[in-house]
């Protein structure tokens, strides 16, 4: 007998008929002899409706009362599904998060699961019942036993956490599309279904805007090796498998909070090339990286920060053995960029630094925990190490520092994050596979950008800024530090830009404004009219030309790239919000992801 956890999303249980259809499906599984735990979301758009009600009463309702309100949505659907099962003659019982014992932190509206008590669940399963559990909610570990929620879309996380705690044989996420597609089919009509995807790739896609899975659900599946599949609740098609490597056995105590950083990685074989003051117009990144791709040169990090006036800086890193060639390409292209009227001809220049090292912390546990990046910056500051470049993904923060500082950086970071295993060189390149270099694309329209200009360029500045934001529990996404330095009143300064969720934009601005004296009068700018488009694929490691292709596709549609950031398996660009959807469709097409199979999407 196997144990299966099935999760049904809002649309899948959106009406009486849908609940009855789900009950049939659950019963069919139970009749095969499998023990079944079902997790459900609130019906249809119930949660959105409850949010609207709250906002009609208060523009800024307290988070505790919001949890009290939103958790009711799931209580309705569990009861109805349980009744529907009983009507079919299938013994069933519904339980709220609190009744199960889904114990979370006391953080309202974004609680992380600490552990799940399994005794009651196991008892009911032994009695031959299907247990229907309310998704998205838990109970705090504090003596007040407060009702908490996990954050929007959190029922996926409830399901995978239950599967991990119960040692389930598989976790099935039923939704309104046939599985994980190369893009959101509501935005890209020719998106195609994938049979499988690695959890690393899915983690990036989910955190870059593909809401088909909650990123924390993917994180738990990866940490505990939960076999996870996403499929349609309308058909019997097999859906998409999310593949995780076999993990080290670990306790489910502190489920979502244990070990935020799992490894320290380093690469001392890197050199940096920066083009300063190139024109801020569509096509520049495409031209530069197009030339680099023609030479078959593989680049690692790419960073483009906010523009200043009408010019921009682009920096990238390469391995030392190809530095000379990358520098030559950049020097050759610079005059063409300088000749543009919009640039500052006297200022454009190529700078090269061969004495750098890239140090990274990695770990799925850092998702949504703003303190982790801040802790990395603070650790480097305490060791008096200046950060030259910062590049982030949801599961990795990489800093470029002077190579002479690398041993000290590794030692301090191992100490801070209690990493006893030896630091690992950044993973070697996998075999080249042109076909699957890019697996999927994603769009995030819910981000805002903050830029801080004129920050003193010395150890500790980044630590201060991200420490302040972390104190307010504001999660930061892309962080980009400009290459250009300006000397103001004898102090060398740089700019720093980063994105946060739109909901946190104003709060982040306030935090930074209040800290203005600490930041020595830096200037703070907020822009909510941005979109982030990204490509993801493990096959892009060690394959030149991927970035060039993305930038060229955007240039063809005259889309200006405002910021660029990369990790080994993704490239993200910030563009104008108005151009987000067309940018997404364009890059989907450019990487040959479009297909002819029509995917049906419920309206
Ligand atoms: P549920 O209520 O079942 O949890 P969600 O609305 O949270 O469903 O997630 C499913 C939706 O995710 C799909 O309807 C689709 O519009 C969207 N989506 C975004 N990116 C992707 C993608 N790459 N693959 C599939 N669906 C995606
Ligand atoms: N009902 C919650 C939401 O709409 C949780 C979920 O559906 O996953 O966000
Ligand atoms: Mg969902």
Protein residue with its CA nearest to atom 11 in ligand 1: 212
Protein residue with its CA nearest to atom 4 in ligand 2: 47
Q: How confident is the model at residue 308 (pLDDT cuts 50, 70, 90)?
A: confident
- Tokens 């850092």 found at: 366
Best-predicted range by mean pLDDT (296-300, 377-381, 438-442): 438-442
- Give tens-digit pLDDT for 118-139: 999 999 999 999 999 999 999 9
DSSP state, 217? H
Q: How confident is the model at residue 428 (pLDDT cuts 50, 70, 90)?
A: very low
54 and 161: one domain?
A: yes
pLDDT (0 to 100) of residue 472: 87
CATH number, domain at 28? 3.40.1160.10
For 37, the token pair is 């735990």
Ligand 2 centre and the CA of 109: distance in Å? 11
Q: Which residues pair with 392 in a beta bridge?
A: 397
User: Which pTM does this prediction carry?
Assistant: 0.90
- Give tens-digit pLDDT for 173-196: 999 999 999 999 999 999 999 999
170 and 271: one domain?
A: no
> Does the beta carbon of 8 lie inside 6 Å of ligand 2?
no
- Is pLDDT of 434 > 50? no
Q: How confident is the model at residue 431 (pLDDT cuts 50, 70, 90)?
A: very low
160 and 26: one domain?
A: yes
pLDDT (0 to 100) of residue 424: 67
Q: Is residue 256 part of a domain?
A: no
> Does the beta carbon of 242 lie inside 6 Å of ligand 1?
no
For 554, the token pair is 């955007």
Which residue segment(s) compose the domain that 126 sits in?
Answer: 3-243
Best-predicted range by mean pLDDT (123-127, 204-208, 500-504, 541-545): 123-127
Residue of higher predicted confidence among 377 and 426 = 377
Q: How far is CA 39 from CA 136, 485, 519, in A?
A: 9, 53, 47
Tally of domains within the chain: 2
Q: Is residue 396 part of a domain?
A: yes
Q: Which ligand is nearest to the CA of 193?
A: 1
Q: Is the dihedral of CA 370, 373, 374, 379 positive or negative?
A: positive
Q: Which residues pair with 575 in a beta bridge?
A: 531
Q: Is residue 131 part of a domain?
A: yes
Measured from the Cα of 180, ligand 1's closest atom is: 24
pLDDT (0 to 100) of residue 395: 78
267 and 151: one domain?
A: no
pLDDT (0 to 100) of residue 589: 95
20 CB-near residues (< 8 Å, 6+ apart): 84
pLDDT (0 to 100) of residue 539: 87
Q: How confident is the model at residue 429 (pLDDT cuts 50, 70, 90)?
A: very low
Contact 32, 195 (CB under 8 A): no
Contact 413, 379 (CB under 8 A): yes
Percentage of the chain lying above the pLDDT 90 cut: 59
pLDDT (0 to 100) of residue 72: 98
Protein residue with its CA nearest to atom 8 in ligand 2: 153
176 and 317: one domain?
A: no
Of 601, 585, 544, 41, give the one whose Cα is nearest residue 299: 544
465 CB-near residues (< 8 Å, 6+ apart): 452, 455, 496, 512, 515, 519
Average pLDDT of the chain to the nearest whole number: 89
Ligand 2 centre and the CA of 173: distance in Å? 13
527 and 491: one domain?
A: yes
Q: Which ligand is nearest to the CA of 77?
A: 2
- Give tens-digit pLDDT for 327-366: 999 999 888 876 555 545 556 689 999 999 999 998 877 7
Protein residue with its CA nearest to atom 10 in ligand 1: 212
Q: Is residue 252 part of a domain?
A: no
DSSP state, 182? S
pLDDT (0 to 100) of residue 346: 54
Question: At which of 209, 243, 277 does a domain end?
Answer: 243
- Is pLDDT of 23 > 60? yes
Residue of higher predicted confidence among 479 and 590 = 590
Measured from the Cα of 151, ligand 2's closest atom is: 9
Q: How confident is the model at residue 435 (pLDDT cuts 50, 70, 90)?
A: low
Which of 150, 174, 184, 204, when mutated, tests ligand 1's pocket best, judged by the most ligand atoms within 8 Å of its CB?
184
């Amino acid at each position: 007998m196997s144990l299966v956890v099935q999760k049904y999303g809002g649309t899948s249980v959106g009406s009486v008929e849908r609940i009855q259809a789900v009950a049939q499906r659950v019963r069919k599984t139970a009749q095969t002899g499998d023990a079944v735990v079902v997790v459900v979301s609130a019906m249809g758009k119930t949660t959105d409706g409850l949010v609207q009600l709250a906002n009609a009463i208060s523009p800024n309702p307290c988070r505790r009362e919001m949890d009290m309100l939103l958790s009711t949505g799931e209580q309705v659907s569990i009861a109805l599904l349980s009744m529907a099962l009983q009507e079919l003659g299938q013994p069933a019982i519904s339980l709220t998060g609190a009744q199960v014992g889904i114990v979370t932190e006391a953080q309202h509206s974004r609680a992380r699961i600490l552990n799940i008590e399994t005794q009651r669940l196991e008892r009911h399963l032994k009695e031959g019942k299907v247990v229907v559990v309310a998704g998205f909610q838990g109970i705090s570990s504090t003596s007040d036993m407060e009702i908490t929620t996990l954050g929007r879309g959190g029922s996926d996380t409830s399901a995978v956490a239950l599967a991990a705690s119960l040692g389930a044989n598989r976790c099935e996420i039923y939704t309104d599309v046939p599985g994980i597609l190369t893009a959101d089919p509501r935005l890209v009509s020719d998106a195609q279904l994938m049979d499988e995807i690695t959890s690393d790739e899915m983690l990036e896609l989910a955190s870059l805007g593909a809401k088909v899975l909650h990123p924390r659900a993917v994180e738990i599946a990866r940490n505990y090796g939960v076999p996870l599949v996403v499929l349609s609740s309308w058909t019997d098609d097999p859906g998409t498998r999310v593949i995780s490597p076999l993990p080290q056995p670990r306790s489910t105590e502190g489920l979502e909070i244990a070990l935020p950083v799992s490894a320290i990685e380093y690469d001392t074989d890197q050199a940096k090339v920066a083009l300063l003051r190139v024109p801020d117009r569509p096509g520049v990144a495409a031209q530069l990286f197009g030339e680099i791709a023609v030479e078959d040169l593989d680049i690692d990090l790419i960073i483009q920060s906010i523009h200043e006036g009408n010019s921009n800086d682009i920096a990238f890193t390469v391995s030392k053995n190809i530095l000379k060639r990358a520098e030559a390409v950049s020097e050759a292209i610079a005059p063409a960029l300088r000749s543009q009227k919009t640039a500052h001809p006297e200022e454009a220049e190529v700078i090269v630094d061969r004495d750098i090292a890239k140090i990274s912390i990695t770990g799925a546990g850092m998702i949504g925990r703003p303190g982790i990046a801040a802790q990395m910056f603070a650790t480097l500051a305490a060791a008096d190490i200046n950060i030259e470049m910062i590049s982030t993904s949801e599961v990795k923060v990489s800093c470029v520092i002077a190579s002479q500082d690398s041993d000290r950086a590794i030692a301090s970071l191992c100490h801070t994050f209690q990493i006893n295993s030896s630091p690992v060189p950044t993973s070697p390149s996998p075999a080249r596979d042109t076909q699957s270099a890019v697996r999927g694309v994603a769009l995030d329209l819910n981000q805002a950008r903050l830029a801080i200009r004129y920050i003193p360029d010395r150890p500790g500045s980044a630590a201060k800024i991200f420490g302040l934001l972390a104190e307010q529990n504001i999660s930061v996404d892309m962080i980009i530090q400009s290459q250009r330095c300006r000397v103001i009143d004898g102090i060398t300064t740089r700019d720093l830009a980063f994105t946060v969720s739109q909901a946190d934009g104003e709060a982040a601005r306030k935090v930074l404004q209040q800290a203005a004296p600490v930041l020595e009068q830096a200037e703070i700018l907020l822009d909510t009219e941005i979109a982030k488009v990204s490509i993801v694929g493990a096959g892009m490691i060690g394959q030149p030309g991927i970035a060039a292709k993305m930038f060229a596709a955007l240039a063809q549609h005259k889309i200006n790239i405002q910021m660029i950031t990369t990790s080994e398996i993704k490239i993200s660009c910030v563009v104008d919000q108005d151009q987000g959807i067309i940018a997404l469709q364009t890059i989907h097409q450019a990487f040959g992801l479009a297909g002819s199979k029509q995917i049906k999407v419920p309206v």
